[in-house]
């Protein structure tokens, strides 16, 4: 790929930013994951009812026979009440942010160690035995997605949980597969929204120069799950990944804000849609949590975190506020396997770090 190809990628991102001004915040006191005493590294969302705290809610007083409702039923009722009691510029939604199960790129990063992975191996499509470009799920990753499936089914049966009103998924293969294994063939309550996700470009992983962040074509995505919806304007080829520059956290947060604005305030999610599933990635979920003002909470592969979000829209609907964008950065890397992978990227003495792609982008 030519260096001149960087500019359209950046412009492409800017062009998609036409957000209104929205202030997001996380309502705490509902989930264990919001509490500083909860350790993300040992937390198992399936062991404790998704983390929903056992408590009463102000809205309980509107229910007769409170004890006949489960915690999740009362929580859903509480969220509905929050929406009912707030002005039209304010919306509450519960986001179920799910990280994909283990992909071949995750396994390879563990195998090579993160420094060597970042500075050489991740720039390749794979090695002679494994492919990790737009990685698929490993068998362990499929098991993690099926664990989420089993857990949702148990929540539906035991807790009569309100299942998502809308489903969004990143276009990378590992997230498409994860959403499929998690939500296909769930036995849903009669009134529930059927699983028919919308594939959304802006929920993809942070766009580094790694080939695992390079998505495949729209045709490939469509052929993998022909029934699923792909958002309007989704390009045939990946126009954001270029293999030379990568999104910074600041640039990613701008993108995540745009994605959330679309979920909250466009016709993709109706106002009545209070529970939203988003199947995405570790880095992207971290970015979303930053935008939501949630404390940092890293998810293991296949894990899900629910967050009660308050969104407050400023200004009139029809007035878009111009968003600032942040520049991307080049990522120097080695052209040969690094000499050490212990703590830093050290190229062999004959080779200095370069910023040109190791492979030819198509």
32 touches ligand NAG by CB under 6 A: yes
Number of residues forming the site for ligand NAG (CB under 6 A): 19
Smaller CB distance to ligand NAG: residue 67 or 191? Answer: 67
Instruction: Pick the piece of the chain touching ligand NAG (CB under 6 A) from 104-112, 239-247, 274-282, 291-299.
Output: 104-112
Q: How many residues does the chain have?
A: 362
230 touches ligand NAG by CB under 6 A: no
Q: Which of 205, 247, 262, 284 is catalytic?
A: 205
Q: What is the chain's alpha carbon radius of gyration, rounded to the nearest angstrom? A: 21
Report CA-CA distances (Å) from 69 to 40, 62, 73, 147, 153: 29, 12, 6, 26, 18
177 touches ligand NAG by CB under 6 A: yes
Report CA-CA distances (Å) from 185 to 180, 195, 291, 312: 9, 9, 33, 36
- Residue 290 CB burial class (10 angstroms; 0-12, 13-18, ≥19): middle
Give the contact letters, 277-306, x = binds to ligand NAG (CB under 6 A), - = no. Answer: ------------------------------
Sign of CA dihedral 261, 266, 269, 272: positive
Instruction: Pick the piece of the chain touching ligand NAG (CB under 6 A) from 75-83, 103-111, 250-258, 330-338.
Output: 103-111
Q: Is 205 a catalytic residue?
A: yes
CB of 51 to ligand NAG, least distance (A): 6
Look up residue 13 and give its two tokens: 């991102």
180 touches ligand NAG by CB under 6 A: yes
Instruction: Pick the piece of the chain touching ligand NAG (CB under 6 A) from 8-16, 123-131, 280-288, 348-356.
Output: 123-131
CB of 100 to ligand NAG, least distance (A): 12
Instruction: Pick the piece of the chain touching ligand NAG (CB under 6 A) from 94-102, 177-185, 192-200, 315-323.
Output: 177-185
Binders in 43-82 for ligand NAG, by CB under 6 A: 48-49, 53-54
181 touches ligand NAG by CB under 6 A: yes
Provide φ and ψ at 313, rounded to 5°: -90, 130
Compute the distance between CA of residue 207 and CA of residue 39 in angstroms, rounded to an integer. 28
108 touches ligand NAG by CB under 6 A: yes
Smaller CB distance to ligand NAG: residue 143 or 248? Answer: 143
Compute the distance between CA of residue 32 and CA of residue 15 in angstroms, rounded to an integer. 38
Q: Is 100 a catalytic residue?
A: yes
Look up residue 138 and give its two tokens: 């490993």
Q: How many CB atoms are closer than 10 A to CB 110?
A: 11
Smaller CB distance to ligand NAG: residue 21 or 131? Answer: 131
Q: Which of 244, 216, 270 is nearest to 358 (CA)?
A: 244
Compute the distance between CA of residue 110 and CA of residue 344 in angstroms, rounded to an integer. 15
Provide φ and ψ at 330, rounded to 5°: -75, 155
Task: List active site positions.
Answer: 100, 205
Residue numbers at the binding site for ligand NAG (CB under 6 A): 32, 48-49, 53-54, 104, 107-108, 111, 127-130, 177, 180-181, 184-185, 224
């Amino acid at each position: 790929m030519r260096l001149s190809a960087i500019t359209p990628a950046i412009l492409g991102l800017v062009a998609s930013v036409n957000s209104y001004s929205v202030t997001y915040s996380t309502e705490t006191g509902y989930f264990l994951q919001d509490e500083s005493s909860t350790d993300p590294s040992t937390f198992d969302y399936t062991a404790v009812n998704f983390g929903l705290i056992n408590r009463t809610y102000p809205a309980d007083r509107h229910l007769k026979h409170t004890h006949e409702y489960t915690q999740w039923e009362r929580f859903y009722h509480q969220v509905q009440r929050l929406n009912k009691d707030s002005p039209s510029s304010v919306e509450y939604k519960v986001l179920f942010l799910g990280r994909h199960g283990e992909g071949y790129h995750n396994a390879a990063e563990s195998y090579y160690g993160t420094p060597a992975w970042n500075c050489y191996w991740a720039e390749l499509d794979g090695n002679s035995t494994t492919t990790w470009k737009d990685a698929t799920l490993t068998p362990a990753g499929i098991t993690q997605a099926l664990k989420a499936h089993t857990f949702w089914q148990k929540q539906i049966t035991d807790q009569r949980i309100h299942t998502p009103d809308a489903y969004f998924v990143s276009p990378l293969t590992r997230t498409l597969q994860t959403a499929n294994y998690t939500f296909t063939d769930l036995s849903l309550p009669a009134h529930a929204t059927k699983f028919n996700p919308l594939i959304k470009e802006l929920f993809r992983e942070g766009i580094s120069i790694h080939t695992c962040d390079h998505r495949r074509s729209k045709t490939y995505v469509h052929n993998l799950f022909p029934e699923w919806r792909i958002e309007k304007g989704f390009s045939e080829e990946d126009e954001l990944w270029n293999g030379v520059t990568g999104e910074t956290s600041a640039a990613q947060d701008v993108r995540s804000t745009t994605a959330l604005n679309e979920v909250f305030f466009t016709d993709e999610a109706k106002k009545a849609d209070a529970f939203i599933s988003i199947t995405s990635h570790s880095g992207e979920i971290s970015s979303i949590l930053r935008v939501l003002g949630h404390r940092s909470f890293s998810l293991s592969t296949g894990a899900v975190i629910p967050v009660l979000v308050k969104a407050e829209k400023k200004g009139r609907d029809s007035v878009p506020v111009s968003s600032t964008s942040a520049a991307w950065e080049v990522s120097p890397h080695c052209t040969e396997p690094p000499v050490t992978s212990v703590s830093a990227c050290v190229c062999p003495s004959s080779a200095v770090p370069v910023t040109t792609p190791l492979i030819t982008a198509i």
